[in-house]
Structure 1
Amino acid sequence: MRQLDVKMMHPRVQIIKVIHKIYRRGMTTTSGGNISIKDNNGDIWVTPSAIDKGNLKEEDVICVKKDGTIVGKHKPSSEFPFHKAIYEARKDIKSIIHAHPPALVSFSIIREIPNTKVTSLANKICGEIGYAPYALPGSEELGLIIAKQFVNCNTKAIIMENHGTVLGGSDLEDAYCRFETLEYTARTIINAKVIGTPTYLTDNQLNQLGSQSNIDIDLNNNISYSSKELFQRKEIVDIVHRSCEQELMISSYGTVSVRMENNDFLITPSNIARWNIETEDIVSVRNGKTELGKQPSHLVSLHQKIYELNPHINSIIMTKPPHLMAYSITGVKFDVRTIPESWIFLQDVPNLDYNTLLDNTIPERLDKSTPSLLVANESFIVTGDKLIQTFDRLEVAEFSAKSLIMAAPISKLVPINDQQILDLKAKFLD
């Protein structure tokens, strides 16, 4: 069973799985937030009012029938009126999440909308974001205000003034992916403002990038997996799930690949939420062609070029953790000359311009003395020999970025000096 493969589950099961995930990741409180699903019969399944979100059970979920009849042992969420109003306004929306995640609440109380043009992926997933003026929680007035924002068919997320956020989706997985992405985008912008000034992508840049995948599809599906490849597939899946748990990846972003032999490699798919990826979803690329019926990451061409140009690299991770991305979107130098471990693992990390994605120069920027780099408004790229080494570098990088951001309001950074760097290099790298 996939970790969050909710589409084929009963609405009660879907809601419990997602509300527990939201609660565990600190994006709602015991009493805050609510989720609903509208099924094919027109019935609405919704979380109950005033029941502990951390211990919610399937039998606690309420069904409000199409005729208004309530089935269940609790009252529906007090915010049910705006769920109902959104479903009436938008027939394409089949699931709704409302919560008070800290970063988005921060935007709601300063009455601003996060600019999702901070990365192309965030802009694509979140779409247009509406803004709902304040109204009494649980009131019919609030429902009408929110529904009015959703009348725009391109809007699937809104910031609620001094309240939080509400998002819709074609199903609960779609809504959760948008919710998680928007909160992480808001968190990244907040982190960036601690150290500098965020920059945002222009419409032209967003349109330019498009898909980076130009790998051919192999029409021969007669591929057998060796025991070594099966191990590598499982290793990738374990690292992806671990990255999600460590808040280094979320549903919508994170690409991992591992070299097999020569320039053949395995890579994560693009059309499956990272929480859900399993071994059978991993895509092999042999002789420049992917497996039949599988859609590799849109960055597959970039990974292939990195392997071709760098024989010493056997694994790659590309992702957008919220502290590292603060350096990516501000252009502020990510100075890893802070603690010995950081510099030994990462050495100096270049900040590359966004256009390096278009001019195909990223592979030549990576070498043995530069195992990782930041691409402006795009991602952190880290490489290594073994995948666990690459993942370790990713963790060290994000922890270091977090420490630097936390240090910024205290005082000026005092890095390790040049002689200390030379001593580290002589002992650990030469």
Structure 2
Amino acid sequence: MSDTRLREEICRYGRSLFERGLTPGSSGNISMRLDDGGWLVTPTNASLGFLDPGRISRLDAGGRLVSGDKPTKEIPLHSALYESRGSARAIVHLHSTHAVALTMLPEIDPRAALPPMTPYYLMRAGETALVPYYRPGDPAVADAIRGLAGKYSSVLLANHGPVVAGDSLEAAVFATEELEETAKLYLLLRNLNPRYLSPQQVLDLASTFKLDLPSLDDHEGHDHG
């Protein structure tokens, strides 16, 4: 896909996310990794609903600005997830309401921020890690992401929002949306003793759809495909 098409794709998905209230104001950012190791990334203080393709930041493989506006301050976050997830070609970071709310609850397991509620949550987002709060743009968040050793494609930043990697921008957007809807379900059902997917049902999904779930890493005989 040409540079022009990639820029247009970022703008199209950004506007879709913004118009549905998934990232208000100038919050959130999107990046795509290029074949030469560089990136396209949304600029700092830019609303995802009103992006200009020509002003999207282009960075070289070393993270230096080549063209476009000054990039988002969340570059360390994106960089660390690309480094640890070799298959990642795009990353979406939002401030979506329900996902942010989830990060503030005391019972959340950092290794599995959400239980296995629906098949599409596992199929799109996999399992989700929760990392502690860091000031936006703090380079220390990169170490927290690297500490996950690439096991998670979806991560929640405490009191901040989701960061999701995909093998395409479409996949990253769909996974982010699925994560937000699952967080909403969790909040709706909290303390109501809902019925989650059983371990056997999770194993069946993982086997059928070749899901590489961190919780199954030590499961004897599990084939990650």
Distance 2:115 2:97 in 1: 17
Retained in 1: the 8 A contact 2:84–2:150? no
In structure 1, what residue type is equivalent to 2:194?
P
Q: CA deviation at 1:52?
A: 2.8
In structure 1, what residue type is equivalent to 2:195?
T
Count the aligned residue pairs: 204
Q: SS at 2:116's partner residue? A: helix
- Range moving further from structure 2, 202-211 or 104-113: 202-211
Query: What pairs up with 1:306-325 in 2 under 5 angstroms?
Result: none
Distance 1:158 1:21 in 2: 21
Distance 2:163 2:129 in 1: 10
Runs of 4+ aligned residues of structure 1 deviating over 6 Å after TM superposition are: 6-9, 209-212
Corresponding position of 2:44: 49
TM-score by length of 2: 0.82
1:166 and 2:166 aligned: no
Q: Which runs of 5+ in 2 are unaligned?
A: 209-225
Q: SS at 2:184's partner residue? A: helix
Retained in 2: the 8 A contact 1:81–1:143? yes
Whose radius of gyration is greater, 1 or 2?
A: 1
Corresponding position of 2:102: 107
Q: CA deviation at 1:57?
A: 1.4
User: Cα distance 1:204–1:14, how it changes in 2: closer, same or farther (>3 A)?
Assistant: same
Query: What pairs up with 1:321-332 in 2 under 5 angstroms?
Result: none
1:90 and 2:90 aligned: no
1:125 and 2:124 aligned: yes
2:10 aligns with one of 3, 12, 15: 15
Q: CA deviation at 1:116?
A: 4.3
Q: SS at 1:199's partner residue? A: coil
- Range moving further from structure 2, 50-59 or 160-169: 50-59
Q: CA deviation at 1:211?
A: 10
In structure 1, what residue type is equivalent to 2:140?
E
User: Cα distance 1:87–1:205, how it changes in 2: closer, same or farther (>3 A)?
Assistant: closer
Corresponding position of 2:202: 206
Query: What pairs up with 1:316-355 in 2 under 5 angstroms?
Result: none
Retained in 1: the 8 A contact 2:124–2:171? no
User: Cα distance 1:75–1:209, how it changes in 2: closer, same or farther (>3 A)?
Assistant: closer
In structure 2, what residue type is equivalent to 1:120?
P
In structure 1, what residue type is equivalent to 2:126?
G
Identity %: 28
Q: Which runs of 5+ in 1 are unaligned?
A: 1-5, 213-430
Retained in 1: the 8 A contact 2:57–2:65? yes
Corresponding position of 1:152: 150
Q: CA deviation at 1:30?
A: 1.7
User: Cα distance 1:136–1:209, how it changes in 2: closer, same or farther (>3 A)?
Assistant: closer
Corresponding position of 1:287: none
Distance 1:16 1:179 in 2: 16
Retained in 2: the 8 A contact 1:189–1:198? no
1:27 and 2:22 aligned: yes
Distance 2:16 2:74 in 1: 20
Distance 1:117 1:41 in 2: 37
Corresponding position of 1:142: 141
Q: Deviations over 1:57-97 (max 9, x none)?
A: 11121001124431334210010111112212222111111
Corresponding position of 1:61: 56
Q: CA deviation at 1:199?
A: 1.7
TM-score by length of 1: 0.44
Q: SS at 1:82's partner residue? A: helix
Q: CA deviation at 1:20?
A: 0.7
Q: Deviations over 1:160-211 (max 9, x none)?
A: 11111101011111111110111111112222238x3322111113345789
User: Cα distance 1:86–1:161, how it changes in 2: closer, same or farther (>3 A)?
Assistant: same
Retained in 2: the 8 A contact 1:116–1:126? no
Distance 2:89 2:160 in 1: 23
Corresponding position of 2:216: none
